[in-house]
């Protein structure tokens, strides 16, 4: 099944015949995807191995706190409706491929453009690693040759296939595969949510058994959110929602739409995936009730499928995880390549030429390698931490991008200083917390454990605002704004 899906990725190069030496055709599918294709593409991009592996694994490990991912899908789409539909209009008129293109024209500062672009590239590396973690969990569960050397050979083969069809087909590849991926996921989740709880004695038994198991652990968890977890839950949910729409892969999916109305329609339709996420999270409790025991929480879902599904259907579930990782990983590699080619190398290559497209295609290969290395060299307790750590970085681009869509109040140099402080603070807190996405602050004698990304953003905005006021007081000239009012209409 996975081989067939990969073949679709290569065949996609012939879909809607176009010149794939053109960056807009290779990276954005010619900006021609309608409502249905965009729905599958953006849904396949947002709901990844993060959904299938990481969220249930976190619920299995820490209980109710893991459900923070569910309100994220409620919060993010109104933001997409307002923010990204506005950005789409500007990008369509001015031919932007990335948000860093907009930042350059809006603030007239090359250094700020590079900072935003590199932040997007680096933030995507742990997110790509999360997709590979999902595939690794499946390979280890399959055993035999798949688990040789910790699954590295199998992952390497998957990486080569991913890199191959991404290089060949561009965004058309994951767009076609997304149809298969989403169908597999819906079939698997519906079957799992019906069959597994029934075999465990019903939801009442699942919740009661999970509560007993959680209370008996050396570090007790809870099936309900405790008062001490409320701040962590709220900051993770809000911070993740703000970060999600800033990820270059989501922006790439949005820019591939054929019109602003397509973007808005999808913002209204995509919350249907939120129900899917909630059901998947509940399977974390099912794994606890079923007595699944593993030190690698990423293997919880493959083990659950293997125990309760017949062999052939467990294979379907495993294929859903692998395909569910291939689609977003491909889009992430493409979007990172867009940033590198369009915004970092643009001083050395003519814009929108076959050479720029070649650079972008080549860079996708490097992103796959970095993602593969990250899962072996960045120690995290839960797979979801990869995505959350990436969010700590990408959220620092919010002032330049989102505020810039409505206002030019900030100075470019002030935004750059705020960005630098936000990134530095986020990295320092992540290191101090041993790469956990949360950090405990003590304010007026009260300890607040919250999402690092929001702490970093608060520092970022404070520094940027203070620096802007100082520059205004000094009557320093602001950078040139190349956009015009009509671009935002």
The 10s digit of each residue's pLDDT in 180-230 is: 888 888 888 899 999 999 999 999 999 999 999 999 888 878 999 988 889
pLDDT reported for residue 422: 97
Say yes or no to pLDDT of 163 above 80: no
Say yes or no to pLDDT of 347 above 70: no
Say yes or no to pLDDT of 351 above 70: no
pLDDT band at 444 (very low <50, low <70, confident <90, very high): confident
Within a domain: residue 470?
no
pLDDT band at 353 (very low <50, low <70, confident <90, very high): low
| 325/93: higher pLDDT | 93
> Please, are residues 180 and 323 in contact by the beta-carbon 8 Å criterion?
yes
Specify the DSSP element, H or E, that contains 443: strand 438-443
Q: What single string gives the DSSP state of each residue in 318-371?
A: HHHHHHHHHHHHHHHHHHHHHHIIIIISTTTS-TTSHHHHHHHHHHHHHHHHHH
Within a domain: residue 304?
yes
Say yes or no to pLDDT of 134 above 90: no
- Domain of 226 in residue numbering reads as 2-398
Within a domain: residue 428?
no
Around Cβ 316, how many Cβ atoms within 10 Å?
A: 16
Within a domain: residue 187?
yes
Task: Enumerate the H helices of 53-109 as residue ranges.
Answer: 55-62, 69-79, 85-94, 99-107
Residues in Cβ contact with 35 at an 8 Å cutoff, skipping those fewer than 6 apart: 262, 265, 266, 269
Q: Kindly give the pairing relationship between strand 438-443 and strand 446-451.
A: antiparallel
Within a domain: residue 35?
yes
pTM here is 0.89
- If you average pLDDT over residues 112-116, what whole number do you get? 96
| 353/88: higher pLDDT | 88
The CATH number of whichever domain residue 111 belongs to comes to: 1.20.1730.10
CA distances from 161 to 7, 21, 333 (A): 9, 20, 13
**Residues of the chain with pLDDT > 70: what percent?**
90
- Average per-residue pLDDT in the chain? 86
pLDDT in tens, 383-434: 577 778 889 999 999 999 999 999 999 999 999 999 999 999 999 999 898 8
- State the total domains in the chain: 1
Within a domain: residue 358?
yes
**Residues of the chain with pLDDT > 90: what percent?**
44
Within a domain: residue 73?
yes
- If you average pLDDT over residues 33-54, what whole number do you get? 82
pLDDT reported for residue 311: 86
pLDDT in tens, 217-264: 888 789 999 888 899 999 999 999 999 999 999 999 999 999 999 999
pLDDT reported for residue 383: 59
Chain centroid to Cα 380, Å, comes to 17
Within a domain: residue 465?
no
Say yes or no to pLDDT of 376 above 70: no
């Amino acid at each position: 099944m996975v081989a067939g899906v990969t073949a679709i990725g290569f065949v996609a190069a012939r879909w809607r015949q176009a010149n794939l030496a053109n960056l807009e055709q290779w990276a954005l599918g010619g900006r021609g995807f309608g409502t249905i294709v965009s729905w599958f593409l953006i849904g396949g991009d947002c709901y990844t191995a993060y959904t299938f592996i990481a969220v249930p694994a976190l619920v299995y490990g820490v209980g109710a706190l893991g459900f923070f991912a569910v309100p994220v899908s409620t919060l993010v789409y109104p933001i997409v409706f307002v923010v990204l539909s506005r950005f789409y209009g500007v990008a369509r008129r001015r031919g932007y491929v990335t948000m860093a293109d907009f930042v350059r024209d809006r603030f007239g500062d090359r250094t700020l453009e590079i900072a935003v672009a590199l932040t997007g590239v680096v933030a995507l590396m742990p997110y790509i690693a999360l997709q590979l973690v999902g595939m690794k969990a499946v390979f280890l569960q399959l055993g035999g040759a798949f688990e040789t050397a910790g699954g590295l050979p199998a992952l390497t083969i998957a990486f080569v296939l991913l890199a191959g069809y991404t290089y060949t087909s561009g965004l058309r590849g994951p767009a076609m595969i997304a149809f298969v991926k989403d169908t597999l996921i819906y079939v698997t989740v519906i079957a799992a949510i019906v069959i597994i709880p029934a075999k465990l004695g019903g939801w009442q038994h699942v919740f009661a058994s999970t509560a007993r198991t959680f209370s008996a652990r050396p570090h007790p968890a809870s099936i309900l959110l405790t008062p001490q977890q409320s701040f962590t839950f709220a900051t993770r949910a809000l911070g993740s929602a703000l970060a999600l729409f800033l990820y270059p892969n989501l922006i790439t999916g949005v820019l591939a739409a054929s019109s602003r109305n397509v973007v808005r329609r999808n913002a209204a339709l995509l919350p249907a995936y939120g129900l899917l996420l909630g059901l998947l999270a509940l399977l974390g409790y099912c794994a606890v009730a079923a007595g699944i025991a593993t030190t690698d929480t990423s293997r919880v879902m493959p083990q659950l499928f293997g125990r309760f599904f017949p062999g052939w259907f467990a294979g379907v579930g495993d294929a859903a995880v692998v395909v569910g990782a291939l689609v977003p990983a491909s889009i992430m590699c493409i979007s990172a390549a867009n940033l590198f080619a369009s915004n970092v190398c643009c001083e050395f290559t003519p814009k929108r030429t076959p050479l720029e497209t070649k650079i972008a295609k080549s860079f996708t290969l490097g992103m796959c390698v970095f993602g593969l290395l990250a899962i072996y060299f960045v120690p995290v307790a839960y797979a979801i931490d990869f995505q959350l750590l990436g969010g700590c970085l990408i959220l620092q681009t919010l002032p330049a991008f989102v505020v810039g869509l409505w206002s030019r109040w900030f100075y470019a140099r002030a935004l750059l200083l705020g960005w630098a402080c936000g990134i530095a603070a986020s990295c320092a807190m992540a290191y101090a917390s041993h790469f956990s996405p949360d950090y405990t602050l003590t304010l007026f004698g009260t300890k607040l454990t919250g999402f690092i990304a929001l702490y970093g953003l608060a520092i970022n905005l404070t520094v940027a605002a203070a620096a802007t006021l100082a520059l205004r007081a000094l009557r320093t000239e602001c950078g040139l704004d190349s956009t015009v009012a009509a671009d935002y209409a």
